[in-house]
Amino acid sequence: MIRRRVVQIIPVIVLATFVVFGLLQLVPGDIAVTLAGDNATDARIAQIRQSYGLDRPFLVQYGTWLWNAMHLDLSRSYLSNEPVFDQIMHRFPVTLLIVGSALALSLIIGVPFGILAATRPGSFLDTAVTSVASLGVALPNFWLAMILVATFALSWNWFPATGAVALSRSPSQALLHATLPAIALAASGVATVVQQLRSALIEILSSQYVRTLHAKGLSPAAILWQHGLKNVSVTLLTVVGLLVNRLLGATVVVEAVFAIPGMGSLIVHAAVHKDFPVVQGVVLSMVVIVILLNLLIDILYTVLDPRVALK
């Protein structure tokens, strides 16, 4: 099973890389001319075309690019001439910290409330939790980020308003800097966890199987802990996969609000400045993270639920 999944993701990764590389083909006009910039002579344009391999057929360019990417060579930034891979590795820890914290917050807050709501469907608590969750999903995270900055950083001075500190430099400072961005990101994450967990649990708890257990005289708490949550862990895994994808997108805007030098601000800056290797590099690394995480989740499914493996 695991081997089959691993084999299956190869075409997915290839297709995703194809899309990433294809971005370059969207550039209107001759990209070599765009790159050459100021006072470009024909010779300079030709030189650029050759050095970036733009004169070769598309598939050859793609193949070379993919081969290099597999060897962690994502070419160099047009702007700074630094290796793109180094730039990404430099910024990845910052983004990882806030996305990771946001994910943790989403689960820590979302799971208990999801369970509470699901075990008392229709109650006041359930209504309150689901209403807040709907708000959380609809909330623009960067707007929440702005409100958090205005309140907790600018008015009350509890947290820093901008920037990031590496965990390796000062763990406490790093967490302090990551708190507000992580909360801003986690709002929709908490809401998603609550919604998905609640509906999955309600479905399980109302199933024929659980009703039989009730009839057998098992206490509701025992049913919840022994059967409900075990089944629900699969849902939770799916939600984590979904959340990481969403958080990686959302972090781009939240990083802008807090001026955090992470992957998000890297790609925004690169997109505005037409620094294509960096744009491609960031998109590629985010996609690869999502794909590999989904693979990991699929593998965990089989561990948690052996029936999946048999299918």
Contact between 128 and another protein by CB under 8 A: the answer reads no
The token duo for 150 is 């205005």
Residue type, 193: V
Neighbouring-strand partners of residue 76? 83
The backbone region for 275, taken as left when phi is positive above 0, alpha when psi lies in -120 to 50, beta otherwise, is: beta
Residue number, 105 or 257, with CB nearest to another protein: 257
Contact between 282 and another protein by CB under 8 A: the answer reads yes
Residue number, 105 or 148, with CB nearest to another protein: 148
d(CA 110, CA 246): 16
What is the footprint of another protein within residues 145-164 (CB under 8 A)?
Answer: 146-147, 149-150, 153-154, 157, 160-163
Contact between 270 and another protein by CB under 8 A: the answer reads yes
Residue number, 66 or 271, with CB nearest to another protein: 271
d(CA 154, CA 176): 15
CB contact at 8 A, 284 and 87 = no
Contact between 80 and another protein by CB under 8 A: the answer reads yes
Neighbouring-strand partners of residue 83? 76
Pick the binder of another protein from 111, 184, 223, 252 (CB under 8 A).
Answer: 252
Residue number, 8 or 219, with CB nearest to another protein: 8
Residue number, 83 or 218, with CB nearest to another protein: 83
List CB contacts of 122: < 8 A, sequence separation 6 or more: none
Return the range that interacts with another protein (CB under 8 A); candidates 118-126, 178-186, 223-231, 267-275. Answer: 267-275
Pick the binder of another protein from 125, 202, 290, 300 (CB under 8 A).
Answer: 290
Pick the binder of another protein from 47, 61, 207, 245 (CB under 8 A).
Answer: 245
The token duo for 273 is 């400045």
Residue type, 101: S
Secondary-structure breakdown of the chain: helix, strand, coil percentages, each rounded to the nearest 5: 80, 0, 20
Least CB distance from residue 147 to another protein, whole Å? 7
Contact between 214 and another protein by CB under 8 A: the answer reads no
Query: Tokens 């996969």, residue?
Result: 241
What is the footprint of another protein within residues 108-127 (CB under 8 A)?
Answer: none
Pick from 71, 73, 61, 60: nearest CA to 31: 61
Contact between 24 and another protein by CB under 8 A: the answer reads yes
Pick the binder of another protein from 3, 4, 28, 215 (CB under 8 A).
Answer: 28
CB contact at 8 A, 164 and 260 = yes
Return the range that interacts with another protein (CB under 8 A); candidates 61-69, 73-81, 108-116, 178-186. Answer: 73-81
Instruction: Please count the residues of the chain.
Output: 311
Least CB distance from residue 223 to another protein, whole Å? 21
Return the range that interacts with another protein (CB under 8 A); candidates 4-12, 52-60, 115-123, 303-311. Answer: 4-12
